[in-house]
Amino acid sequence: MSPAATARAYVPASRPPPAPGRGPAPGARGRPLLRSLRAAAPALAGYLLVRLVGLAFLARLAHAKGHGVWPTLATSWDSNWYLGIAEHGYAAELGTEVNANNLAFFPLYPLLIRAASAVLPGSRASAGLLLAVGCSFIAAWGVYAVGARLHGHRTGTLLAILWGLLPVAAVQWLGYTESLFTALCAWSLYAALTDRWPVAGLLASLAGLTRPTGIALAAAVTLTALLAAHRTRCSRALAGALLAPLGWLGYVAWVGARVGRPDGYFAVQRLWKNEWDGGRATLLELRQQLVYEPRPHLFVLAVSACLVLAVVMYALSLADRQPLVLLVFTGAMLVVVLGSAGVYFPRARFLLPAFPLLLPLAVSLSRAPRARLAIVLISATLLSTWLSAYMLLIWPGPP
């Protein structure tokens, strides 16, 4: 099916206009949302089940090692950076210390932590963790919505479950930004697929305030919205295109103004040893881990496998002729993540929001016999559960 035919295949069904002189019936505005939630219920139940299995194993292993589960989930590594920003704000200058400037972390999640902690009992860490877990369900709902929109209910359900079974899926229930970012990406992509361009642009702008890779979503929405505006002369599409990059560009500009130099944000990233080199460092590390390292660390080996598989899945996505907005988003994510010369081992986590890469697998599994599907899902649950616990409790670095 051509991209144009694909776009035509997903035009929303028209609804009859309301009777003259009468507004919508009471509660009518909320009915599409309730219908969407009811349709997504099996996907959300499946997602909850696989994540609870992971949490139960993590809790048992943490107890055996003398660790607490709550500190592991709420106050480890990057969680502490976001909590520090929520409590004390951002650094006022660039400085020279390596891996020390908190301007590298985008502002939306710490702002939400501060707002949530003002109304929720408990600490800011608890508010941040509850926020991340809540966003994970909104994300799974959006992942389902994209899959169901393109290939039906069964595929959407499997897509959401597979997203919860990624090797680093435990991060979805950490005090990290991945769940919030994925939720914004999923619903922005869904809005683009249904021609709701201002909504797509607004959500892309918020994603640009959440993670550096928000630039990938901004590029996808801007490009496809501009093409839609050119094709249909639709001012709403043009508005979405203009909105999409504002969050990312706004934060980069604000950091530059704060530290007193136009390239301030990129100077901060250099202090974190995070520069874009076109993928040279990634290829060298892959070669080292997969060819020359006599005893590669298990977690780093898993990350390397995830990166290779992500490229393979993108090739399959191209062969499947996914809608352009999905292909641009996942392609840009791969370019940003694989093209970076920064720290290697978080790369699998950085790609966690690129859920459309799982679509070819979800479509294939939706056609599989039940016995084969059960074997695949059970095996994936065991592997994800074990690797996630290993990542959080045995691997000595951040996820």
DSSP 182-251: HHHHHHHHHHHHTT-HHHHHHHHHHHTTT-TTHHHHHHHHHHHHHHHHHHH--HHHHHHHHHTTHHHHHH
Are residues 174 and 73 in contact, defined by beta-carbon separation less than 8 angstroms? yes
pLDDT digits (tens, 9 = 90+) for 156-178: 999 999 999 999 999 999 999 99
Give residue 20's pLDDT: 40
Asked if pLDDT for residue 29 goes beyond 70, the answer is: no
Mean pLDDT to the nearest integer, 50-67: 94
Cα–Cα distance for residue pair 315/359, rounded to 1 Å: 12
Are residues 54 and 170 in contact, defined by beta-carbon separation less than 8 angstroms? yes
Are residues 196 and 12 in contact, defined by beta-carbon separation less than 8 angstroms? no
Q: If pLDDT is split at 50, 70 and 90, which confidence band does 311 have?
A: very high
Give residue 10's pLDDT: 39
Phi-psi region of 122 (alpha: psi -120 to 50; beta: other; left: phi over 0): left
Asked if pLDDT for residue 336 goes beyond 50, the answer is: yes
* Tokens, residue 196: 């709701």
Give the chain's mean pLDDT: 92
pLDDT digits (tens, 9 = 90+) for 79-108: 999 999 999 999 999 999 999 999 999 999
pLDDT digits (tens, 9 = 90+) for 294-305: 888 999 999 999
Give residue 307's pLDDT: 97
Asked if pLDDT for residue 22 goes beyond 90, the answer is: no
Asked if pLDDT for residue 30 goes beyond 70, the answer is: no
Cα–Cα distance for residue pair 283/275, rounded to 1 Å: 15
pLDDT digits (tens, 9 = 90+) for 193-230: 999 999 999 999 999 999 999 999 999 999 999 999 99
Mean pLDDT to the nearest integer, 229-257: 96
* Tokens, residue 135: 């966003």
Q: If pLDDT is split at 50, 70 and 90, which confidence band does 11 have?
A: very low
DSSP code, position 20: T
Amino acid at 128: G
Asked if pLDDT for residue 24 goes beyond 80, the answer is: no
Give residue 1's pLDDT: 43
Give residue 4's pLDDT: 40
Give residue 12's pLDDT: 37
Asked if pLDDT for residue 249 goes beyond 80, the answer is: yes
Asked if pLDDT for residue 15 goes beyond 90, the answer is: no
Residues 358/364/369/371 CA torsion (nearest 10 deg): -30
| SS3 assignment, position 340 | strand
Asked if pLDDT for residue 32 goes beyond 90, the answer is: no
pLDDT digits (tens, 9 = 90+) for 381-395: 999 999 999 999 999
Q: If pLDDT is split at 50, 70 and 90, which confidence band does 7 have?
A: very low
